[in-house]
Amino acid sequence: MAYLFTSESVSEGHPDKVADQISDALLDNFLAFDKDSKVACETLVTTGQVVLAGEVKSKTYLDVQQIAREVINEIGYTKGAYQFSGDSCGVISLIHEQSQDINQGVDRDTKEEQGAGDQGMMFGYATKETENYMPLALDISHKILIELAKLRREGTEIPYLRPDSKSQVTIEYSDDNVPQRIVAIVVSTQHDDFDIDDDVMLAKIKNDIVSILIPRVISQLPKYIQDLFNDQITYHINPTGKFVIGGPHGDTGLTGRKIIVDTYGGKGAHGGGAFSGKDPSKVDRSAAYASRHIAKNLVAAGVASEALVQVSYAIGVVEPTSIFVDTYGTSTLGITDGEIAEKVAEIFDMRPAAIEERLKLRNPIYKETAAYGHMGKEPKLVTKVFESPYSGKVEKEVELFTWEKLDYVDHVKKAFQI
């Protein structure tokens, strides 16, 4: 019997994502001026206020208030009517130095002997159902909100949009796990107040989303995914009604509360650790990226059409305590998933320092991860400029989303004799 699967996404203006982006912007600035910085930075945003907290060990000093304000303005919170704007909000910094008790378990005499920054398990996942090896429902959910943000910034076709929004997509699958059709799409978007009746306002918002936004999203998709859209889709557009009060004024935001949006939309598994605000010595982040890199290269190499990779660590210990692979019965090799996991351990060095080196994680590459998912984006080279009143100006060329590269496909094929 066919089944339904649903994933959601949230916009860059969602309060939790505002917090994530501030935390990762601070991390990037610390790494730009001191690549060996140890950072665990948390952010809270609420009506007119930002609170920064966490532990940092770094040789540089930053104007953290200014960095937070710049992020908020860039997202689009620039008007007093939002009750939260980059130019007027208060910013309180409670950041202090990292505990030496934690640091002694990470630093070693040589970089290669660096221990894991914490215990825990991390997961990576990949599937062939999309071109970027991401679960389809999540991929479409992200694309809806990315395009909605473009419409907001253009300000012409839908001029009343505000930064806070959420999306959700439900897909029907066949018994053999093939997407059949899109069943439902939910979009809730913050908007300016209207000088018209609420029912008329809601009807206009729904019409604009269905007739303007959705066709723009569909046009970006490959034909086989476009065919899943149909006249029977149920649209729930701002289903609670008026949505003028939003963002941090409507709901307090915290770093690390959207871990499923950040990863695979509920497909595969999640170890529970958040990413944003953490430097790569924290395996919550770096090993999750490395696990995605492994899963994606396994699927791309033809080992399986779907793969879940788990790795686990003990704090201060160099080698992972386990590596696990689940191909959900889709392996093409005639060997067990346990045997695949043994090969994976031979191909990919999963020591924390090796992950940092392989994926170039000691660079300021993290703010771009903090909205619309950490996985599934296109690797690319960019030049980023950072300025500090204390350390001057630096310009760095960095590679974003290195864990999305298919640079180990040949290694995998050779190891598995594909």
Using one digit for the tens of pLDDT, what is the confidence trace for 230-279?
Answer: 999 999 999 998 898 999 999 999 999 999 999 999 999 999 999 999 99
pLDDT in tens, 75-101: 999 998 999 999 999 999 999 986 565
Average pLDDT over residues 299-319: 96
Q: What is the DSSP pairing of strand 120-127 with strand 380-388?
A: unpaired
Distance CA 93, CA 51 (A): 6
Give the H/E segment covering residue 15: helix 15-33
Query: Residues comprising the binding site for ATP?
Result: 14, 164-166, 242-243, 251, 257-258, 274, 278
Q: What's the confidence (pLDDT) of residue 195? A: 84
- Does residue 374 share a domain with residue 285? yes
Q: Which long-range contacts (CB under 8 A, 24 or more apart) does 217-226 make?
A: 217/140, 217/143, 217/144, 217/147, 220/143, 220/147, 221/140, 221/143, 222/131, 225/130, 225/136, 225/140, 225/179
What is the tally of structural domains in the chain?
3
Does any domain span residue 359? yes
Last residue of a domain, one of 223, 246, 269: 246
Give start and end residues of each alpha helix (H) in 97-236.
100-103, 136-154, 198-208, 214-219, 223-226
Q: What's the confidence (pLDDT) of residue 99? A: 59
Amino acid letter, 319: E
Residue 104's pLDDT band, with cuts at 50, 70 and 90, is low
- Does residue 205 share a domain with residue 151? yes
Q: 237 near 180, Cβ under 8 Å?
A: no
Does any domain span residue 363? yes
Sheet holding 306-313, edge to edge: 120-127, 306-313, 322-326
DSSP string, 329-394: T--SSSS-HHHHHHHHHHHS--SHHHHHHHTTTTSS--GGGSSS-SSSPPPEEEEEEEEETTTEEE
- Does residue 227 share a domain with residue 142? yes
Q: Is the pLDDT of residue 1 over 80?
A: no
- Does residue 401 share a domain with residue 310? yes
Q: Is the pLDDT of residue 315 over 80?
A: yes
Q: 27 near 279, Cβ under 8 Å?
A: yes
Query: Residues comprising the binding site for K(+)?
Result: 42
Query: Residues comprising the binding site for Mg(2+)?
Result: 16
- Does residue 314 share a domain with residue 195? no
pLDDT in tens, 398-409: 999 999 999 999
Residue 105's pLDDT band, with cuts at 50, 70 and 90, is low
Query: Residues comprising the binding site for L-methionine?
Result: 55, 98, 251, 282
> Rg of the Cα trace of the chain?
22
Does any domain span residue 274? no
Q: CATH number of the domain at 94, please.
A: 3.30.300.10
Residue 63's pLDDT band, with cuts at 50, 70 and 90, is very high
Phi, psi of 155 (to 5 degrees): 70, 20
Last residue of a domain, one of 202, 226, 246: 246
Domain of residue 242, residue span: 3-10+137-246
- Does residue 41 share a domain with residue 152? no
Amino acid letter, 39: V
- Does residue 143 share a domain with residue 94? no
Does any domain span residue 35? yes
Please state the length of the chain: 418
Distance CA 89, CA 141 (A): 30
- Does residue 218 share a domain with residue 153? yes
Average pLDDT across the chain, whole number: 94
- Does residue 105 share a domain with residue 147? no
Does any domain span residue 48? yes
Average pLDDT over residues 115-138: 94
Distance CA 285, CA 375 (A): 12
Residue 322 burial (CB < 10 Å; 0-12/13-18/19+)? exposed
Distance CA 202, CA 200 (A): 6
Average pLDDT over residues 377-389: 95
Instruction: Give the Cβ contact number of residue 242 at 10 Å.
Output: 13
- Does residue 93 share a domain with residue 215? no
Query: Residues comprising the binding site?
Result: 14, 16, 42, 55, 98, 164-166, 242-243, 251, 257-258, 274, 278, 282
Does any domain span residue 254? no
- Does residue 407 share a domain with residue 286? yes
Residue 391's pLDDT band, with cuts at 50, 70 and 90, is confident
